[in-house]
Structure 1
Amino acid sequence: MERIFPICVLCITAVSASSAQPEELYGVVGQEVPFPTSVRNSGGLSYSGTDIGDVTHGQFTPLPNEKFTGRVQWDSSTGFFSITGLKMEDSGRYRVKNDANLDTVYQLTVFIPVSKPKVSHDKHSCTLYCTVDRGTEVTLSWYREGEKENFISSDSLNAPYVKLPEAVERSGTYTCEAVNPISRERSSVTVGEECAGYTGPHIGLVIGLICTSAAALIFAGLYCRQRILQKRRPE
């Protein structure tokens, strides 16, 4: 029994390490991302189960891999592995094995930074438009000057198909904010008094329909009254 116990402890440790939740890492296209697990003497870096970097006796060797050729690095001063020149397809699961032969798993997601939003204002319809040309997982939000809370937001989408129109009823400065996990950009537009109290063309249409219906009812009432009076007259 004394011999079995240490083996069981090792089994439990291995299962716990392999089932641990990966740590989230965000990277920017074209830049470098370090994996913050220090390897000083011996260890390695793998991607989706394939070894791509090795450190043995303090000496780094990048392992042959067409996907990462020339892009896997190791910093001897920090002990961190890193990948340079990030590409969108580098997103995935990485594993760093440290000197104690323990694994740390990272889930890397590579993003394209958002571009500065393009904002415009249609004075006829009092509609604001906000679009971005670049970015992944972008969320757009409109804010009015002096108000902390956004009054409308878009779903998380990829550019260039991100657009957020919104009709406004008050004058002032409106700011569109484009955000994703690694970047944030803003642009503003000023709306004049022409939109103060604006209720939109649909309200005018409704009012027109109400007036038309009322006129038709009045006409029908007068017609019925005239018919009744004619029937009451003696022949």
Structure 2
Amino acid sequence: MADLPSSRLRLYKLHVFGPYLVKMEREALGIIYKLVIMFTCDADVKVPLKAVVGSSITFPNSVKEKAFILLGTTNLASVSNGAFEIYEDIYTNRLHWSSSTGLFTLSHLQQNDSGVYTIDSKKGNVLKKIYELKLYEAVSAPVVSSVNVSADSCTVQCSVKHTEQTTLSWFRGEQPVDSSTSAVLLLTVQLQDYTSQYRCVAQNPADNKAVIVNITTVCEHKETLSDTSSGSKAVYIVIPIVLTVLIIIIMAFVLYVIKKCSKKESTPLQTEVQRPISSNEKP
């Protein structure tokens, strides 16, 4: 009987504090799970990096005491007590390490530099980071020209030397108008929109170039050519008509003259009638 009150007390405490204990236990398990994921799986996460052929890339982890940089399973270089050593000759003058920032930089990038890089720091700032580097060709500047001009509109084309994953886009101000993965993209602008600012952008995941387009200027020369061409066509049409009319007039005049002359020739000549000589007159 003496133990009964204590048993009831334990049941009472469990009833009152039980939900709070369960909640705290769940939160603690969640924190432990996140910590386990952070320390066991973080090294397997590949951080994507993009760069342009010919440029440089700096890996964003500072290591200053003892660390290695690897491409795949190949050890490229190491840092130990402030000393930097390159193991692969092809990276001499291309792979750098800054003693002030502790950052690795790979310069003069080539297509075959694409791959999985690992920064493995063993001392000081201990970490292991994996980066997947993807190289892209630089995007060429887009070229814009007019292809068709009418009285109320102008069609312009934006073209670019096509490289991997290149996209062409037309913008009116900051508003996208159209885009395509082809090497040529057409845009028709109405006359009332000539004064708006347009730009054509060529881009891939690592680079982009843009050209601002003055529609009035681009279409002006074409309009002049169009007007000249129309004028020439009109001349080619009018001249034969005028010549035909002149020929008809000349022929009509010639026929009139011929007819008039023929009429004169057909009229009989008046002959003089001799009157008889009288007997009183001497011959």
With the shorter chain as reference, the TM-score category is 0.5 to 0.7
- The answer as to 2:209 corresponding to 1:188 is no
- The residue aligned with 1:140 is 168
Cα offset, 1:41, TM superposition: 0.9
From 25, 31, 36, the equivalent of 2:49 is: 25
Deviations along 1:113-143, whole A, 9 cap, x unmatched?
A: 3222100111257432111237553221112
Deviations along 1:178-219, whole A, 9 cap, x unmatched?
A: 233333322314156999xxxxxxxxxxxxxxxxxxxxxxxx
Which amino acid counterpart does residue 111 of structure 2 have in structure 1? M
From 154, 164, 183, the equivalent of 1:162 is: 183
SS of alignment partner, residue 164 of structure 1: strand
Supply the distance in 2 between the matched residues of 1:61 and 1:134 (Cα, whole angstroms): 40
**CA 1:187–1:89: 2 relative to 1, 3 Å:** farther
Does the 8 A contact of 1:29 with 1:85 survive in 2?
yes
Does the 8 A contact of 2:44 with 2:130 survive in 1?
no
TM-score under structure 2 normalisation?
A: 0.54
- The answer as to 2:87 corresponding to 1:59 is no
Which structure is larger by alpha-carbon Rg, 1 or 2? 2
- The answer as to 2:76 corresponding to 1:48 is no
Deviations along 1:63-112, whole A, 9 cap, x unmatched?
A: 1254x343211111111111111112212211101235421111222233
Supply the distance in 1 between the matched residues of 2:83 and 2:68 (Cα, whole angstroms): 11
SS of alignment partner, residue 31 of structure 1: coil
Cα offset, 1:13, TM superposition: 6.7
Cα offset, 1:62, TM superposition: 0.4
Greater displacement, 182-191 / 46-55: 182-191
- The answer as to 2:114 corresponding to 1:91 is yes
Greater displacement, 93-102 / 33-42: 93-102
SS of alignment partner, residue 89 of structure 1: helix
**CA 1:17–1:129: 2 relative to 1, 3 Å:** same
- The residue aligned with 2:99 is 76
Relative to its length, the structure with more helix (as a share) is 2
Higher RCO (CA < 8 A, seq sep 6+) = 1
From 153, 164, 175, the equivalent of 2:199 is: 175
Supply the distance in 1 between the matched residues of 2:87 and 2:43 (Cα, whole angstroms): 23
Which amino acid counterpart does residue 43 of structure 2 have in structure 1? S
- The residue aligned with 1:36 is 60
Does the 8 A contact of 1:119 with 1:189 survive in 2?
no
Supply the distance in 2 between the matched residues of 1:132 and 1:85 (Cα, whole angstroms): 24
